[in-house]
Amino acid sequence: MSHHQPEMQPEGVPQEGSGAGDRTPPGSPPGDLAGRAFPLGDWGEPADRLDELYRWVERGALDTAAWYLRDRARKRLGARLLRGGTALGAVGAGVLPLLDLAGGVAGAAPWGYVSLLAGVACAGCDRFFGLTSGWMRDMATAQAVQRRLQVLQFDWASESVREVLGPTDGTASEAAERCLGVLRRFSEDVTELVRAETADWMVEFRAGPAPLVMQGAVPGGGSGHPREGGPGPGRFPLPPGARPNMPRQRPPEPR
């Protein structure tokens, strides 16, 4: 790139569906975290081509953050309803027996157990479906993507200013390679953020009640084979420095 080429500074947020790489794949639901085709173009004008790649990368990050924000709104609504049901169930379990004891509502004490059971059921559903933890993870991931996008925007503005003032370090090919490196590192960072959120979700899912029952039914943990050198089923590992107790044998009887 030379200083005669136009600026590569981003001009606001691109509109939905603009650019060759911003089209949603056929059959893909809108807003889904689906893969996108890499935009193909002519490198005869490197500045225009780099600007197109920047808009493609930026649009992908904005779509990712928007997806997590939409998923967060849905989970937050469900979490609030279930947590409200838990609170009402706990309050009802304490108030109804008092009303029955005070004579205000006759026969209300047995309904306190029903209220308590409903509250426990709401808390269990929230825990089982991971609504509260899910919307928190969505919010944290969306904020992380937005922060990383801000870093990219300032880095790209710095590269644009450098091109306007004139390249002082390296050739045009090195400047283009440096710009591509900025876009590549940003894409890898966003992918790592999504992978980390998915890994956290998988850890939470495996820590649920059903996977624990399945792991406890299989000797040696989650795999179907016992660990080499580990204690057998029903055996507990010895503490460090302890020696196994050998069974005592009766002395031979005198003949």
Q: What is the mean pLDDT of residues 244-250?
A: 52
- For residues 45 and 145, what is the distance between their CA atoms, to the nearest angstrom? 30
**Furthest C-alpha separation in the chain:** 112
Q: Residue 2 contacts by C-beta under 8 Å, 6 or more apart in sequence? A: 167, 172
Cβ 38 vs Cβ 23: under 8 Å: no
Res 168: pLDDT? 56
Task: Report phi then psi at 127, rounded to 5.
Answer: -70, -40
Domain of residue 125 covers 78-129
CB of 8 closer than 8 Å to CB of 54: yes
Q: Which is nearest to 57 in space by CA: 177, 157, 189? A: 189
Residue whose tokens read 């009802």: 92
Question: Is the domain of 90 the same as that of 101?
Answer: yes
76, 34 contact by CB (below 8 A): no
* 25 contacts 36 by C-beta, under 8 angstroms: yes
Residue 29 covered by a domain: no
Residue 98 shares a structural domain with residue 152: no
- Asked if residue 138 and residue 118 are part of one domain, the reply reads no
pLDDT tens digits, 108-146: 888 989 999 999 999 999 998 989 999 999 999 999 999
* Residue linked to tokens 């002082």: 168
Q: Is residue 73 situated within a structural domain?
A: no
Question: Looking at the structure, do residues 135 and 92 belong to the same domain, yes or no?
Answer: no
The answer as to whether 200 is a domain residue is: yes
Predicted confidence (pLDDT) per residue in 137-151, tens digit = 999 999 999 999 999
Q: Which pair of structure tokens corresponds to residue 222?
A: 């989650």
Whether pLDDT at 183 is above 80: yes
137 shares a domain with 114: no
86 assigned to some structural domain:
yes
**Which of 162, 202, 196, 204 minimizes the C-alpha distance to 179?**
162
| Mean pLDDT to the nearest integer, 40-63 | 86
In a domain, 135, yes or no: yes
Residues 185, 156 share a domain: yes
Residue 255: predicted pLDDT: 57
The verdict on residue 245 lying in a domain is no
Which is more confidently placed, 103 or 218?
103
Q: Is 119 exposed, middle or buried (0-12, 13-18, 19+ CB in 10 A)?
A: buried
Judge whether 248 lies within some domain: no
User: Does residue 147 sit in the same domain as residue 199?
Assistant: yes
| 207-232: b (≥16 Cβ within 10 Å) or e | eeeeeeeeeeeeeeeeeeeeeeeeee
Tallying the residues shown for the chain, one arrives at 255
State the Cα torsion 238-243-249-251 to the nearest 10°: -160
| % residues pLDDT > 90 (the chain) | 37
Domain match, 123 and 134 both: no
Residue 22 within any structural domain of the chain: no
pTM, full prediction: 0.63
For residue 71, what are its two tokens?
């998923």
What number is the average pLDDT over the span 87-109?
87
**One domain for residues 137 and 201:** yes
SS3 228: coil
Could you tell me if 114 and 172 lie in one domain?
Answer: no
Q: What average pLDDT is seen over the chain?
A: 74
What is the structure's pLDDT at 32?
66
Q: Are residues 177 and 113 in the same domain?
A: no
Verify that 117 and 143 share a domain, yes or no.
no
**Predicted local distance difference test score (pLDDT) of residue 7:** 40
Residue 119 near residue 93 (C-beta atoms within 8 A): yes
Domain count, the chain: 2
